Amino acid sequence: MPELPEVETIVRDLNKTVLKKTFFDVWTDSPKTIKKITFDRFKKEIIGKRIERVWRRGKNIIFDLSGEKYLLLHQKLTGHLLVGKWQLKNGKWLPLTQGPLEDPINRFIHLMFWLNNNTMMALSDLRKFAKVELLNKKELEKELEKIGAEPLDKNFNFEKFQNCLKNKKGKIKQVLMNQEVIAGIGNIYSDEILWRTKIHPFREVSSLNKNELKEIFLAIKKVLTKAIELGGESISDFRKLSGEKGQFDLERKVYQREGEKCFRCGTKIERLKIGGRSAHYCPKCQKI
């Protein structure tokens, strides 16, 4: 699932490509992607709306539209937005230009928007888990109200981080991935953050001292910032708006490296199951 760096990468590129553009038409072969209203109503309401702002909250992409409407998109497990030009041929969307959009992972297009100036915006989603909602302000606020603190917000300091974890029970990896505690961190970056701090993913939050918490706080800022600079992680389905892969693989130290040598000590990376997810760690560097 795209995490904060991947979503932020998409949002920044959307602000360069679709800002102030107007929706002219929309197509789907997966009406269930549109939540709460029918696709016909969605289509009727979004046509003519102009994109005034694009921003991120947690893992959600939000388009502020004219007419006090908001388009919310959560890419879920395998979804990613693309901008380009395509033609529909034999039921499949084919890019009109050679390049990254031809990547096979970009071919699962189930939602297509037409905007002015010959711009097309597509949602490629292999598993069809992504959700799209057209909301008013009150509905948007309700949708976002339970999302936790934004870790890259300029006001998110160590004191606020400590408050987020105060009285929290559970293993540190699970708490870091809890979207009601801290927004945007998932399986990939929780592994990377904890490897850099030499903290075992199964450590109970209550067992962490102030220095360890400070190390985690600093690693969160550093890892997420670097991941955004590199355009996110494309080890799975995520691609940038252009269809290109993100380059966080240049920095990935532990996630999905089970059986490979630790970059720090040479010990083989191990994997444990935690709440239906996987935790990758070095058993020597990250002792419990």
Of these residues, 56, 59, 196, 252, which one is catalytic?
A: 59
Instruction: Please give the Cα distance from 152 to 120 (Å, whole number).
Output: 30
Of these residues, 2, 5, 151, 201, which one is catalytic?
A: 2
Query: In angstroms, what CA-CA distances link 241 with 12, 124, 195?
Result: 10, 11, 29
Is 277 a catalytic site residue? yes
Q: Select from 114, 86, 101, 91 the least CA-distant residue to 27.
A: 114
Is 59 a catalytic site residue? yes
Q: Select from 137, 133, 109, 138 the least CA-distant residue to 123.
A: 109
Q: How many residues does the chain have?
A: 288
| Phi, psi dihedrals of residue 131, rounded to the nearest 5° | -125, 145
Query: In angstroms, what CA-CA distances link 83 with 64, 158, 231, 258?
Result: 18, 38, 16, 35
Of these residues, 50, 226, 277, 284, which one is catalytic?
A: 277
* Chain-centre distance for alpha carbon 89: 30
Of these residues, 3, 6, 133, 215, which one is catalytic?
A: 3
Q: Select from 90, 85, 52 the least CA-distant residue to 68.
A: 52
Element (H, E) at 212: helix 210-229
User: Are 51 and 64 a contacting pair, CB within 8 Å?
Assistant: yes
Q: Indicate which residues carry an active-site annotation.
A: 2-3, 59, 277
